[in-house]
A and B are shown apart, each in its own frame.
Chain A
């Protein structure tokens, strides 16, 4: 404030002007504060209302399907737009298998990356550390359609080759392929959080471990990892949330078969992918509302996962 007054005096020493400026300043002392508070509050409120209204509108639009099928919606294996029989079980199964398989594949890698970057293996400011860290973060910025192309043109032929070697129907596309692509996409989510949390481990307790004669592996295994457990799990949960909601890349490589998958190499479909596929041309009322109901399920599942993740992170923060 002092600074400002001085500046204005310098520019215009005229007293009349100065008094006007002064009065303006008095108002402007209060106004920004008042408006800022309002704007911030309203923006927060708007986001809250938005989330609630998304859920409400989804539920309203899915009413016809909820009424028609009830709980059967989750147990029926048929998705038949011609005879108007809709059951989401194949898609729920597809989503669960792809995302957990992706997690299974990605966790060893993301854990290794976060330990390497966070656990004193490399100078934090070194060129290679920065390069590696940025490349991992870059993975999260690549549009998912690009991952889809990568999958279609690179991963699919490799998987098909393996399938012919093992005597499995050589589709190339399928649930396993989708999981591989997903696992690459979700690495940055768990790796970034894991790295940050491993870096937060106090040097004292690590040094205590070394002073007792532990090897580096032992320090990581028995001190760092247990200390970071909840943080790493939170990162994994965030990655899972991302895997469950991913649409475009999955659609391109999963084979889009609405039947119950018989094994992990079979073509399948996920909740997000079936919505993206069928929404534009769903003409019948029941078809549309069944798709919306899948949206509701997806909304709930992702909410539960992200809330669980947040709770675990919070717990961790309180501990330190």
Chain B
């Protein structure tokens, strides 16, 4: 008798699962699905949580990495993709027109582990030479000359980089390619590159962890991770010759330049005199024409409203989570881009 009950219970359970699964699969119009970059994940979850409380719209975002986000958008399995790197011309050709909506900005900082050294200045040449393995010791005359007040140790430099492909790596290598011809020819720029030296570790947390553990190491991480792990990071000289301490303000300031209309732009090595030179946007990628794959008008409208909210009201959540908000110039460009989104050729927002 007991066994029979159990059997019945299992049957009911299975039926519920199957039916329930069906129900979830038909995501309603007040639900959006996104996937992509892991860097803005903390901000996005905060924003989407607030948005659900405010508007009752549920947004699911899985942080599977920029590459994965782009692939899923290509396969049209998500409503939007998140990416720290803009699409290459080749990728743009493969897809229907895609818009890059900037959401926030991030800085990549050079975190180091040198006991007793709290302030370190680096020039672009030094950064690329260190990561090329050309400068091997911390007390190299070139570094010492820049930091006359600091006693630098006679120790080998251990560089730490990301072992997984990442938007952070893209911003960093894009910067190095911009400032060093040798880097551009030898290594180049991408989400994963052939590192000439050093150790690799998975994720921002992995790099931060390794830098914290290995004496005399230096690695690049997103600003938030250096702050939360309490690792000191270097000031970097920008194009105008100023040594800039990476902060949210100096990151936002790096976007105070003339930006292109499509926002597919790298702002590393910025012209802005008070801007930190290793910073970049993180984008949400959406199709310009929203009527594809049985999507309803309501869904498209929901998406557009969400994007508008994220680039305006949502910006207030950036700083408390150590993300840099969009500059005024960038918000204006984002507005123009969101207005371009159409359904059946008709604009969704005026």
Contact = CB atoms under 8 A, between A and B. Distances in A.
Contacts of B64: 280
Prevailing SS type, chain A contact patch: loop
Interface residues of B, number: 36
Given A256-B199, A277-B200, A282 B67 contact: yes
A19 to B, nearest CB: 22
Contacts of B121: none
B67 A256 contact: no
A81 B195 contact: no
Interface stretch (A136-144, A167-175, A237-245): A167-175
B273 interface: no
Contacts of B209: 152
B37 to A, nearest CB: 10
A161 B136 CA distance: 21
Nearest to B167: A281
Interface-centre pick from B70, B189, B193, B209 (highest chain A CB count, 10 A): B193
A171 B199 contact: yes
Interface in B275-313: none
A79 interface: yes
A230 interface: no
A79 B65 CA distance: 21
A267 B194 contact: no
B187 interface: yes
Nearest to B170: A281
Nearest to A79: B194
Nearest to B193: A82
A281 B189 contact: no
Contacts, number: 97
Nearest to A248: B202
B165 A281 contact: yes
A258 B195 contact: yes
Given A80-B193, A277-B202, A283 B67 contact: yes
A252 interface: yes
Contact of A257 (B91, B189, B200): B200
A281 B194 contact: no
A281 B166 contact: yes
Contact of B194 (A256, A258, A280, A282): A258
B33 interface: no
A172 B198 CA distance: 13
B230 interface: no
Contact of A255 (B67, B91, B156, B199): B199
Contact of A281 (B158, B164, B210): B164
Interface in A152-178: 152, 156-157, 160, 169-173
A90 to B, nearest CB: 11
B65 A278 contact: no
A183 interface: no
B247 interface: no
A34 interface: no
A257 B199 contact: yes
B65 A280 contact: yes
A78 interface: yes
A169 B213 contact: no
B348 to A, nearest CB: 29
B68 A277 contact: no
A251 interface: yes
Contact of A172 (B70, B194, B213): B213
B214 A82 contact: no
B163 interface: yes
Nearest to B169: A281
B200 A278 contact: no
B190 interface: yes
A173 B66 contact: no
A277 B164 contact: yes
Contacts of B188: 82-83
B194 to A, nearest CB: 4
Interface string A261-278: 000000101000000011
A78 B196 CA distance: 10
B316 interface: no
A100 to B, nearest CB: 23
Interface-centre pick from A81, A83, A157, A277 (highest chain B CB count, 10 A): A277
A171 B158 contact: yes
Given A256-B202, A267-B200, A283-B70, A81 B194 contact: yes
B221 to A, nearest CB: 15
Contact of B210 (A78, A79, A169, A173): A173
Contacts of A160: 214
Interface string B25-67: 0000000000000000000000000000000000000001111
A28 to B, nearest CB: 15
Contacts of A173: 199, 210, 214
B45 to A, nearest CB: 19
Given A258-B200, A282-B67, 10 more contacts: A81-B193, A82-B187, A83-B188, A152-B209, A251-B202, A257-B200, A258-B195, A281-B165, A282-B192, A283-B67
12 contacts: A81-B165, A82-B189, A152-B209, A156-B213, A171-B214, A172-B213, A173-B199, A278-B164, A280-B67, A281-B67, A281-B191, A283-B71
